[in-house]
Structures are given as structure tokens and as C-alpha cells.
């Protein structure tokens, strides 16, 4: 292991460009713990806009999070303060985020890593939201049906029997894909494994995260295919720890390389990475709301099992 770390150091010292960083994670399987958070900042091109950040911070706590402790209790005082401030920063930056009920689940794992530096924490999450989550809020307050439909099609291509099992029992992507995405995989793997997953997510185009969610289902298919109720699937994804993370990552790369073009998520998930600008946050998280609920119920074909109640 020490020899591997020395090799990491040599490569990092020679060059820290993005191409080499992506080569490192694919060759070694993960980034070294000592350098990981710095590498993530390099990959995400974090601008560290001190002046604008202070302006957002001066706006104080956002009213929508006043009852956060009741809904999402955090025992540690340091973490709780960082958690509240990060959520308020995000809602002050982009008002739409005040409507996003899953935001605390998405934010908290990053707060645990970056709580000692709120500026970096905010910019990492903001960059992630702008590049990975643009289509997650098109149908608020409902899940991103368009994204889940794409995942369902990818699963159908790579493991049709598992998809047919889900369809037979009325289990939709809202159960076996969506919780993995909005909790950013934090409830299904342990910390070290989670960090390794995010080494690969941040090193790849945004659609790789969707491939990972499909890959997890396929890797765990032996345990999933005997479950016949949505509650059982939910319980599995909330309480199980999967230890086949390397297998899951390899499967995700296989899916990425072997999915037909007409099934790939690129049609709805941006492929071009756009970092936050230096000096200002002129780009905010403000995805277009695609359809009203009335339009959805009238014009949109929903994946099997979805039902819109008006």
C-alpha cells in the first residue's frame, strides 16, 4: 500500500491536470485518502469566491429550514450548524432549492466531509447540483420521471429479467433508482466505499451516476429478485450495506460502454461540465419546470406503476 501511495504522489507532483486525475482513479480504483478532497476540488474547478460567498452568508438562515431539526435531527452541534448554514446558503443562492424536499438528504454527506470549510462545502454542492441534478426538479414535487424512465430503459437492456420482476410487482424506478440518487448513495454503502464511488462520479460525465444506480441493482439482483413488495425494496436500499463496490463500479463502466446510443441518458442529462465562474455565482440552479401536473396527466406517458393524483 505504501508503494501505491508513493506512486500516487509521484503522478500528482508531475501533473494535476484533469486527464491524469481521471487516469489515476481508473487505474488504482480510487484516489488516495490524503489527497481526495483536494482532487475533488480540482475536478470540480471550485472557484472559492470569497466575497460573493460572504454576501450569501450574510443573508442568514432561510425560513424554510427553521424546523429542520424536527425533520432531520443532527446530534453534533458543529455538524448541525454547518448543515443549517449550507442549506440556507443554497436556498439563498437559488430560491428553487427551498422547494426541494430531498435537499437535506443530498447535502448532509458532503457537509460531513467539508463542514470545516463552508465555502468549499457550498461550492462543491452547488457545482454538483448544476451539473448532475438539472433534471431532478423538472416535475417537483414529484420525482424526476424522465430520469427514472431512462434508468428503467437502461436496466431493461442490461437485465431484462430484473426489470420484468419489478414491473410484475408494480415496483417502479421511484423505489429502486430515485432513493439512490437523492441520498447520493450514502445509505447503501459505508463511508470508505462511498468516497470511492464519488471518486468515479466526479471523474466522469454526469450520466455515470445513473449508470451506477442501475449497476447497483444488477450487482444486488440475487437479493432483490426475491423481494416482491415496494416496502421490502425500500428497506433493502435504506438498511443494507453492499460490499461489492468494486464490482458495482466495474459494472457501471461496462454499462456506460455498452448501452446503445438511443438508450443513453445523454438526451436529458448534460454531457458538458460547466464549473461555477470565478468571481461570481451568476449561474444558479434554476432548471426549467418541464410540465405542469395537469399537462403530465394529459400528455405524458408515465413509467409503469406511476400514478398522478390531481
Contact 145, 302 (CB under 8 A): yes
Cell numbers for 148: 427514472
- pLDDT, residue 18, reads 66
- pLDDT, residue 282, reads 74
Interhelix angle 191-201/208-219, rounded to 10 degrees, is: 140
Sequence-distant (≥ 6) Cβ neighbours of residue 66 within 8 angstroms? none
What region does 305 belong to: left with phi over 0, alpha with psi -120 to 50, or beta? left
Radius of gyration of the chain (CA): 20
Question: Cα 69 to the chain's mean position, in Å?
Answer: 23
Q: Is 161 helix (H, G, I), strand (E, B) or coil?
A: helix
Q: pTM of the full predicted structure?
A: 0.86
Runs of H (alpha helix) within the chain: 2-14, 18-28, 36-44, 50-57, 68-71, 77-93, 103-114, 118-132, 145-158, 160-168, 173-176, 178-182, 191-201, 208-219, 221-224, 230-239, 245-258, 293-299
Domains, the chain, with CATH or none:
145-267 (1.10.472.80)
Closest CA to 155 of 137, 175, 138, 139: 175
Question: Cα 289 to the chain's mean position, in Å?
Answer: 20
Q: Is 102 helix (H, G, I), strand (E, B) or coil?
A: coil
Contact 155, 214 (CB under 8 A): yes
DSSP 8-state assignment for residue 285? -
Please report, in tens digits, the pLDDT of each residue of the chain (310 residues total).
566 655 655 555 445 566 677 778 878 889 999 999 999 999 999 999 999 999 999 999 899 988 888 888 888 889 999 999 999 999 999 999 999 999 999 999 999 999 999 999 999 999 999 999 988 988 888 999 999 999 999 999 999 999 999 999 999 999 999 999 999 999 999 999 999 999 999 999 999 999 999 999 999 999 999 999 999 999 998 876 666 899 999 999 999 999 998 898 887 777 788 899 998 887 777 776 554 443 443 333 333 333 322 2
Question: Cα 136 to the chain's mean position, in Å?
Answer: 10
- pLDDT, residue 251, reads 97
Contact 127, 58 (CB under 8 A): no
- pLDDT, residue 246, reads 93
- CA distance linking residue 148 with residue 143, whole number of Å: 8
- pLDDT, residue 66, reads 84
Amino acid at each position: 500500500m505504501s508503494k501505491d501511495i508513493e506512486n500516487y504522489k509521484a503522478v500528482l507532483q508531475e501533473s494535476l491536470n484533469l486527464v491524469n486525475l481521471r487516469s489515476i482513479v481508473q487505474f488504482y480504483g480510487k484516489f488516495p485518502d490524503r489527497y481526495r478532497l483536494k482532487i475533488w476540488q480540482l475536478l470540480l474547478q471550485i472557484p472559492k469566491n470569497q466575497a460573493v460567498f460572504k454576501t450569501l452568508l450574510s443573508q442568514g438562515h432561510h425560513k424554510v429550514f427553521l424546523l429542520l431539526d424536527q425533520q432531520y435531527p443532527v446530534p453534533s452541534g458543529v455538524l448541525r450548524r454547518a448543515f443549517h448554514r449550507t442549506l440556507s446558503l443554497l436556498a439563498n443562492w437559488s430560491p428553487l432549492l427551498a422547494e426541494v424536499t430531498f435537499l437535506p438528504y443530498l447535502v448532509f454527506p458532503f457537509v460531513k466531509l467539508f463542514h470545516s470549510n463552508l465555502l468549499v462545502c457550498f461550492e462543491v454542492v452547488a457545482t454538483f447540483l448544476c451539473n448532475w441534478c438539472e433534471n431532478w426538479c423538472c416535475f417537483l414535487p414529484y420525482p424526476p420521471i424522465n430520469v427514472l424512465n431512462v434508468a428503467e430503459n437502461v436496466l431493461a437492456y442490461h437485465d431484462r429479467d430484473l426489470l420484468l420482476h419489478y414491473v410484475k410487482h408494480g415496483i417502479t424506478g421511484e423505489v429502486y433508482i430515485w432513493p439512490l440518487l437523492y441520498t447520493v448513495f450514502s445509505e447503501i454503502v459505508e463511508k470508505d466505499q462511498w468516497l470511492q464511488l464519488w471518486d468515479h462520479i466526479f471523474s466522469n460525465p454526469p450520466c455515470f451516476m445513473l449508470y451506477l444506480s442501475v449497476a447497483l441493482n444488477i450487482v444486488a439482483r440475487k437479493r432483490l429478485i426475491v423481494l416482491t413488495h415496494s416496502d421490502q425494496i425500500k428497506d433493502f436500499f435504506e438498511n443494507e450495506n453492499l460490499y461489492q463496490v468494486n464490482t458495482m463500479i466495474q459494472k457501471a463502466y461496462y454499462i456506460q460502454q455498452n448501452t446503445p446510443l438511443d438508450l443513453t441518458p445523454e438526451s436529458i442529462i448534460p454531457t458538458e461540465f460547466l464549473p461555477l465562474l470565478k468571481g461570481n455565482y451568476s449561474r444558479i440552479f434554476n432548471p426549467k419546470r418541464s410540465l405542469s401536473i395537469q399537462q403530465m396527466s394529459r400528455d405524458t406517458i408515465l413509467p409503469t406503476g406511476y400514478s398522478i393524483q390531481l
